[in-house]
Amino acid sequence: MAGKIYRVEFYELRGANLQQLLEANINSKLIKNAKNLDLNTLKMARSKDKFLGSILVEFE
């Protein structure tokens, strides 16, 4: 009996990196003041995550 096949995608999470900058209260080139980051800037950073590739995985 065949198992289920899933596609697993890999991304470089640039939005997650920005979140780490926020938590550390560090200024960066993307944001002038990490303490005053608005939701739109965070959404923009997350939309720029870099797709690295994908694989198919079968689970039985």
Nearest to 44 by CA among 17, 15, 20, 11: 15
Position 45, amino acid: A
- The rounded distance, in Å, linking the Cα atoms of 22 and 5 is 37
Question: Which pTM was predicted?
Answer: 0.42
pLDDT in tens, 1-57: 578 888 888 877 766 666 666 655 444 444 555 555 566 666 666 666 777 888 988
Burial class, 18, CB count within 10 angstroms (exposed 0-12 / middle 13-18 / buried 19+): buried
In whole angstroms, what is the distance from residue 60 CA to residue 55 CA? Answer: 16
pLDDT at 59 over 70: yes
